[in-house]
Each structure stands twice: as structure tokens, then as C-alpha cells.
């Protein structure tokens, strides 16, 4: 059925209008994104192209998150391929074929035969996926889609997609009957037979064809115009977001150059980088971040998804106002958007699960930096920062008490000119907290067994600056970095060993930017190394152990296997939490939470210990003094201290030494 000249002009005119409207909108969004600060995202082009292939075309961004409880990724896979196939279909057959009046030629080639067959399958799968999406949203109602889910919009959209495909298949059926399509495809054939059976006259079929054809065209144009105005802009922006993604490890932080002037951190949308502004448009509203956020799940006022989307909404507000009044600086991001940022434990779970590589965590750190700049603190945070400022550690320990502890533990104080195998970075918690000193004792025993010469820094060791930096106090952090590097500089040693993942992450990943060039190992890696080299031997006699992944060891540094390998050597049965490895659930101490004053909602450590209790294992192993403290605290609150034990891996290994 070829169109006449008038029809064809209307066809192209309508398309031009629709494209005009949507490209105008996209241009506005592009201008909004360009408001952001510069950031270098055109490096590693090969790797970037590869991520788009793997994560977008290969749909790994969805498939990586599929579990038995959450099959939504498969649905997205079908929708994605359906949309791709039909985009090509419409371009070839609708715009080129019918638009240019060469429909017959286009449709009757061998390629079209296969392609129309493929379209049938893709269309069916897409319809099934849309139907299951409707069931999911209408009946199952998973929590992660809330609280911004608009059911009205969704069902209107689902209905129009359903209509579009009904139109498509009807048209294909009619084409068979009207003999403009030589090939018969299964679904189209079904519709063709249907019209045969009801004995519709050819003339009526031709009229019906015209009506449905224009309805289908209307729907397609409708989508073209609607998409950039809705959250269905994500198919346009997500591939770019994945292309321009950050390659820095989870939770790593860009240092501030104080010479560049004020203000510090982010208080307005234009203080974000353009990549961070792009994230708001790329967000798919899937809510996986929110679903894995320990703060959100324990009723804190933070949702990573809503943070990104609210900032995006604010950006659109600012953008629409900008046209009228040209101000030097836009309005401050309102407090109701940023109120939750102090509840973030910086665990990085949201970054890990995000299918489009959004980094809510980076936004949170930047927003926190501005709070510090303006002098707004949580009471507990302020006290900890003040103490760190005055005494170089959040516990207000004096230098002499640090030295005393070295004598108590029986460890030398490092002096220049002496050769050491290991410099043991004890960390503030071990200097202060007796429970953490148990870990240090165990580590020292293991080192002694391996016959290694070890020393610690004593009073010259200051807070590594982890929590300081994550609370946004970059100035104090950089001061601590330089003090600590000064303390380490003159010493002669192989490795810096630490039993605290926070110190490990900071020393290993954040100090090199400031010129540090020493090797840092975590004690789980170190013990694993000693075991595999045969320098220490252990009995494999322990009962069941369940391992809790500390966020800063696992997600931040990908150290998942060494602790498990070590545990496998001392116990025959190493169990896993329901959330483990990169899906591990935070203990609630990270990101300065150890010192946070008041919190609403349930406690994060209670949540985690309940997961452990459900597994029925009596020994929980971990490898972080803060996880240890938080989980023990939760046990104490539950009154289960006698039944369950939280142990550091070093303590377990030391017990198993033979």
C-alpha cells in the first residue's frame, strides 16, 4: 500500500514536528548538563567503548544483578532487544520503505523475510515482558520502585505499547491478506487468518489498514515526543552515562586543590561535574541502589535514588528559571533534598548495583564537603572532628598513651636506621579500644610465629583520615596525610600492615595521590600469603564460620578471596550471609557513622546480626575492628553474647596455629 503525495507530505511534516519538539527538549537538557563543571572523560576510549558493548548491548548491567528473587533484569533484556529490533524495523520499513514509497522493494527481499520473522519473535517477547512488568508493578509492587513510582503513567505507557504492537501485528496480517507482503510470519499469519475467518472484504481491509497505519504512526511520534520529557529519556542518556563512567574504584574521592579557591564542595547544581548532572537523566528509576542501601532499609532519611532524582528535578527547576533571570550563581540545593546525606555509611552498595554506573556516593561526599565548608555538623561528628584536629585521633588519645600501648603489646617503636619486615599500622581503634587490641595481639603472635621483625609508629601515627575525609573535612585530611607520611618517610621496611580496612583503603588508595610510595597490605592478605608460603601452619579444626565482608575491604578494594581462603584452611565449613561479597550489607560504622550522634529508625548493625542469627552459625568472622565492634554491640543488645561470637580472622588463625 503506497501513500499518495499528500499523505507522504503529511507523513514527513508530522515527523519533522515531532523530531523538532523532542530535539529541542534534548537540546535544553544538553544545555543543563553543560552547566556542570569540567571533568576529563575522554580518556581510555577503547575501554569506554567496550563498556558500552558489554553493559548496554550485552545488557550485562541488568544481568549482573539477577537473582532468584529479582528477575526484572530478564524482562529488561527482552524489552531492550524488542525496542532495538523494532527501531530498525520502523526505520527500514516505515520511514525508508513507506516514507519514500519503495515499500514493496524493501519488504520483499530475503533479508526482510528473516528480519520480519525476528521482529515477530522480538515483538512477542516484548509484549510478554511488558505484561510481566505490569504484573510486577500492579500486583507484586516491589519496594525498590517506590516512592516515586507513578502507576498512572506506567499503565498508560504499557497500554500504548500494547496498542502499538497490536497495530503492528494487525498491519502485518492485513498486508498478507492484501498481498503486499509476500512472506508469512507466525504472529502476522495468525492475524491474517483471523481477518479471513471473519470474511472482511478487501475494500474494508484496505480502509482498516489505513486507519491502523496512521494510528501506529501517531503512537510512534507520540513516543518520540514523550520520551525526553519523562523518565523514558534513560535509553538516550544511559549509554552515554556508561560510556563516560568513572574508572576510579568504588568510593574513591577526588582531592581538593585549595589553591583553586572557594567555595568547597557542592551547594548548587552547577558545582557538580557535567557527568554527575548527566547521571540524573541516565537514572532508570530501578531503585536497586535504594534496595541495597543500609540507611534506607533501616528507615533513615536517605535514598540514593531519590537523591539523584531530586537533584535532577532541582536542576530542571533551575534550568527553567535560568531563561528569565541570568544570575551569577543559581539557587542553593534545598535542604529537603540533602537532608539524608549524613546518614550515608559510604558502604558503596549503591555504586556496586547501579546498572548505569551512577555514583550517588560521590554526590554525597561533595555535598558533605559543602556542609563542612559552611560549618554545619552533626553533634557527634563535630566532636570527633574537633578531637582529631586537636589530638590527631577521634578518641582524644595523647601521644604518650599511644607509646604506652606499644609497651603493653610488646611491640617496638619504629626508629630510623633500623630494618623492619613489617611496619604495623595499628590504627586509632587499636590504640583506644581494648577489643581491637585483641586483634593486634593475635596479629603480633602470628607475625612472631612467622619470625618477622615488626615495629609500630606509636605517637607518630595519627588518624589515617578516613572518616575525616568521608565527612567532608578535606583540609584536616590532607594535614593528617602529610603528618603520617612524614612519620613513615625515613623508615626502612617492606610493607605497611594494617588490620583495619579503613586505614588500608586510605593508605593504599588515597595516600599515593599525595606522594606516598609504600606497599600496604591488609592482614587477611598477609596471613593468606604466610599460609600459602608455609611460614605458618594451622589446624583445620574449627566449627562452622560465617564471614562478614567489610565494605572497605570488599567493595572498595576487591579483597574477597584471601579472607575466605584463610577461613577455609582453619574450618571445614565456611558459610555465607544472604548478602555477601559485593552485595555485602554494611555493619553501620563507615563514613563517620561510628561517631554520629542521633539516628532515627532501626540500627544497621542489628539488621546485619539478624541475618547472621538466621543462618544459625555460632561464629561470625570479620576482618575490620569497626565491623567487630558494631556486630558485638548488636549481639549485646540482643542478649546473645553467650551464644554467638564475633571474631576477627587474625584471632581465629592465632587460635588454630599449630
Partner 1 sequence: MKVVICLKQIPDPAITEFDLKNEKMKSELWILNPADFQALEEGLRLKNKYGAEVTVVSVAPERGDEILNKALRYGADRAIRAWKTPLIEADTWMISSILKQVIEEIGFDLVLCGNRSKSTSSEFMGVALSERLKVPVLTGVVGFEVHGEKEGLVHKKLERGKRETYSFQFPAVLTVDEGINEPRYVALFSRAYNEGTRKKVESKELGLDDIDLSPAIELFRISQPKPRTKVGTKISGLSVGSLMKVLRGETGSKKELFSGPATKGAQKIAAKLKEWYL
Binding site for partner 1 (CB under 8 A): 256, 258, 262-264, 372-375, 377, 379, 382-383, 385-386, 389-390, 398-400, 473-476, 479
- Put residue 201 in one of left, alpha, beta given phi > 0 → left and psi -120 to 50 → alpha: beta
Smallest distance from the beta carbon of 597 to partner 1, in angstroms?
11
Nearer to partner 1, 382 or 603 (CB): 382
Nearer to partner 1, 372 or 495 (CB): 372
Pairing verdict, β 419-425 and 454-456:
parallel
Smallest distance from the beta carbon of 456 to partner 1, in angstroms?
20
Distance in angstroms (rounded) separating the CA atoms of residues 614 and 611: 5
177: helix, strand or coil: helix
Nearer to partner 1, 377 or 431 (CB): 377
Eight-state DSSP code of residue 522 = E
Residue 497: in which H helix or E strand, if any? Answer: strand 492-498
Distance in angstroms (rounded) separating the CA atoms of residues 241 and 247: 12
Q: If you search the block for the grid coordinates 506506567, which residue do you land on?
A: 154
385-412 residues labelled b (16+ CB within 10 A) or e (exposed): bebbeebbbbbebeeeebbebbeebebe
Distance in angstroms (rounded) separating the CA atoms of residues 611 and 97: 59
Distance in angstroms (rounded) separating the CA atoms of residues 352 and 249: 10
Nearer to partner 1, 114 or 258 (CB): 258
Smallest distance from the beta carbon of 270 to partner 1, in angstroms?
18
For the chain, the first-to-last Cα distance in angstroms comes to 86
| Grid cell in block for residue 131 | 505484561
Nearer to partner 1, 298 or 478 (CB): 478
Nearer to partner 1, 19 or 408 (CB): 408
Number of neighbours of residue 230 by Cβ within 10 angstroms: 12
Smallest distance from the beta carbon of 385 to partner 1, in angstroms?
5
Smallest distance from the beta carbon of 473 to partner 1, in angstroms?
5
Smallest distance from the beta carbon of 476 to partner 1, in angstroms?
6
Radius of gyration of the chain (CA): 30
Q: List the one residue out of 512, 1, 39 whose CA is nearest residue 271.
A: 39
Nearer to partner 1, 152 or 261 (CB): 261
Nearer to partner 1, 135 or 513 (CB): 513
| CB of 394 closer than 8 Å to CB of 427 | no
Distance in angstroms (rounded) separating the CA atoms of residues 408 and 425: 16
Distance in angstroms (rounded) separating the CA atoms of residues 178 and 104: 12
Q: If you search the block for the grid coordinates 533501616, which residue do you land on?
A: 298
Nearer to partner 1, 476 or 521 (CB): 476
Nearer to partner 1, 99 or 475 (CB): 475
| Grid cell in block for residue 61 | 548491567
| Grid cell in block for residue 460 | 607518630
Nearer to partner 1, 458 or 563 (CB): 458
Q: If you search the block for the grid coordinates 555493619, which residue do you land on?
A: 587
DSSP symbols for 305-318: HHHHHHHHHHHHHH
Distance in angstroms (rounded) separating the CA atoms of residues 278 and 32: 9
Smallest distance from the beta carbon of 339 to partner 1, in angstroms?
20
| CB of 440 closer than 8 Å to CB of 430 | yes
Nearer to partner 1, 189 or 475 (CB): 475
Smallest distance from the beta carbon of 628 to partner 1, in angstroms?
28
Smallest distance from the beta carbon of 260 to partner 1, in angstroms?
11
| Grid cell in block for residue 278 | 548527566
Nearer to partner 1, 389 or 395 (CB): 389
Q: If you search the block for the grid coordinates 539523584, which residue do you land on?
A: 308
Contacts of 199 (CB under 8 A, 6+ apart): none
| Grid cell in block for residue 26 | 534534548
Smallest distance from the beta carbon of 370 to partner 1, in angstroms?
10
Rounding to the nearest 10 degrees, give the CA dihedral for residues 536, 537, 543, 548. Answer: 30
| CB of 402 closer than 8 Å to CB of 430 | no
Peptide bond into 147 cis (omega under 30): yes
Smallest distance from the beta carbon of 386 to partner 1, in angstroms?
5
Q: List the one residue out of 456, 488, 459, 458 whose CA is nearest residue 399.
A: 459
Smallest distance from the beta carbon of 391 to partner 1, in angstroms?
8
Nearer to partner 1, 75 or 591 (CB): 591
Nearer to partner 1, 264 or 491 (CB): 264
Smallest distance from the beta carbon of 23 to partner 1, in angstroms?
42
Amino acid at each position: 500500500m503506497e501513500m499518495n503525495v499528500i499523505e507522504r507530505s503529511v507523513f514527513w511534516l508530522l515527523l519533522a514536528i515531532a523530531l523538532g519538539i523532542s530535539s529541542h527538549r534534548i537540546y535544553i537538557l544538553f544545555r543543563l548538563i553543560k552547566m556542570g563543571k569540567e571533568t576529563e572523560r575522554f580518556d581510555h576510549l577503547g575501554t569506554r567503548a567496550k563498556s558500552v558493548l558489554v553493559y548496554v548491548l550485552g545488557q550485562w548491567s541488568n544481568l549482573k544483578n539477577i537473582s532468584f528473587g529479582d528477575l526484572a533484569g530478564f524482562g529488561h533484556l527482552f524489552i531492550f532487544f524488542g525496542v532495538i529490533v523494532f527501531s530498525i524495523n520502523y526505520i527500514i520499513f516505515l520511514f525508508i520503505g513507506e516514507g519514500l514509497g519503495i515499500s514493496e522493494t524493501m519488504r520483499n527481499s530475503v533479508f526482510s523475510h528473516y528480519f520480519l520473522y525476528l521482529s515477530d519473535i522480538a515483538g512477542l517477547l516484548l509484549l510478554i515482558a511488558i505484561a510481566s512488568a505490569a504484573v510486577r508493578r500492579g500486583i507484586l509492587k516491589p519496594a525498590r520502585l517506590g516512592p516515586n513510582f507513578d502507576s498512572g503513567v506506567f499503565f498508560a505507557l504499557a497500554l500504548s505499547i500494547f496498542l502499538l504492537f497490536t497495530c503492528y501485528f494487525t498491519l502485518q496480517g492485513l498486508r498478507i491478506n492484501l498481498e503486499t507482503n509476500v512472506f508469512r510470519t507466525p504472529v502476522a499469519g495468525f492475524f491474517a487468518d483471523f481477518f479471513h475467518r471473519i470474511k472482511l472484504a478487501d475494500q474494508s481491509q484496505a480502509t482498516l489498514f489505513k486507519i491502523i497505519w496512521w494510528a501506529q504512526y501517531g503512537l510512534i511520534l507520540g513516543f518520540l515526543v514523550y520520551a525526553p520529557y519523562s523518565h523514558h529519556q534513560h535509553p538516550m542518556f544511559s549509554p552515554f552515562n556508561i560510556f563516560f563512567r568513572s574508572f576510579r574504584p568504588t568510593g574513591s574521592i577526588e582531592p581538593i586543590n585549595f589553591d583553586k579557591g572557594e567555595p568547597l564542595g557542592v551547594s548548587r547544581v552547577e558545582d557538580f561535574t557535567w557527568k554527575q548532572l548527566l547521571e540524573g537523566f541516565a537514572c532508570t528509576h530501578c531503585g536497586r541502589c535504594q534496595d541495597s542501601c543500609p540507611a534506607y532499609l533501616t528507615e533513615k532519611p536517605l535514598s540514593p535514588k531519590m537523591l539523584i532524582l531530586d537533584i535532577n528535578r532541582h536542576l530542571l527547576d533551575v534550568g527553567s528559571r535560568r531563561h528569565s533571570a541570568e544570575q551569577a550563581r543559581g539557587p542553593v540545593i534545598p535542604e529537603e533534598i540533602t537532608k539524608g546525606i549524613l546518614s550515608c555509611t559510604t558502604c558503596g552498595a549503591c555504586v556496586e548495583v547501579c546498572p548505569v554506573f551512577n555514583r550517588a556516593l560521590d554526590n554525597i561526599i561533595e555535598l558533605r564537603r559543602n556542609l563542612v565548608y559552611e560549618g554545619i555538623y552533626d553533634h557527634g561528628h563535630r566532636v570527633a572532628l574537633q578531637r582529631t584536629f586537636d589530638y590527631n585521633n577521634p578518641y582524644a588519645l595523647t601521644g604518650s598513651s599511644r607509646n604506652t600501648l606499644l609497651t603493653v603489646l610488646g611491640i617496638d617503636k619504629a626508629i630510623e636506621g633500623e630494618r623492619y619486615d613489617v611496619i604495623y599500622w595499628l590504627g586509632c581503634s587499636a590504640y583506644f579500644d581494648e577489643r581491637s587490641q585483641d586483634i593486634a595481639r593475635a596479629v603480633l603472635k602470628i607475625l612472631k610465629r612467622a619470625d618477622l621483625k615488626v615495629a609500630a609508629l606509636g605517637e607518630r601515627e595519627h588518624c589515617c583520615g578516613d572518616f575525616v575525609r568521608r565527612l567532608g573535612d578535606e583540609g584536616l585530611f590532607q594535614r593528617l596525610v602529610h603528618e603520617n607520611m612524614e612519620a613513615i618517610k625515613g623508615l626502612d621496611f617492606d610493607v605497611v600492615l594494617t588490620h583495619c580496612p579503613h586505614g588500608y583503603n586510605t593508605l593504599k588508595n588515597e595516600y599515593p595521590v599525595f606522594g606516598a610510595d609504600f606497599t600496604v597490605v591488609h592482614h587477611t592478605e598477609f596471613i593468606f600469603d604466610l599460609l600459602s608460603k608455609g611460614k605458618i601452619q594451622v589446624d583445620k579444626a574449627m566449627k562452622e564460620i560465617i564471614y562478614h565482608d567489610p565494605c572497605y575491604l570488599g567493595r572498595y578494594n576487591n579483597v574477597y578471596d584471601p579472607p575466605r581462603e584463610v577461613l577455609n584452611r582453619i574450618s571445614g565449613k565456611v558459610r555465607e550471609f544472604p548478602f555477601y561479597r559485593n552485595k555485602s550489607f554494611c555493619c553501620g560504622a563507615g563514613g563517620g557513622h561510628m561517631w554520629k550522634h542521633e539516628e532515627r529508625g532501626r540500627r544497621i548493625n542489628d539488621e546485619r546480626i539478624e541475618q547472621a542469627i538466621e543462618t544459625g552459625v555460632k561464629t561470625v568472622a570479620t576482618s575490620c575492628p569497626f565491623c567487630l565492634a558494631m556486630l558485638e554491640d548488636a549481639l549485646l543488645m540482643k542478649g546473645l553474647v553467650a551464644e554467638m561470637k564475633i571474631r576477627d580472622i587474625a584471632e581465629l588463625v592465632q587460635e588454630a596455629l599449630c
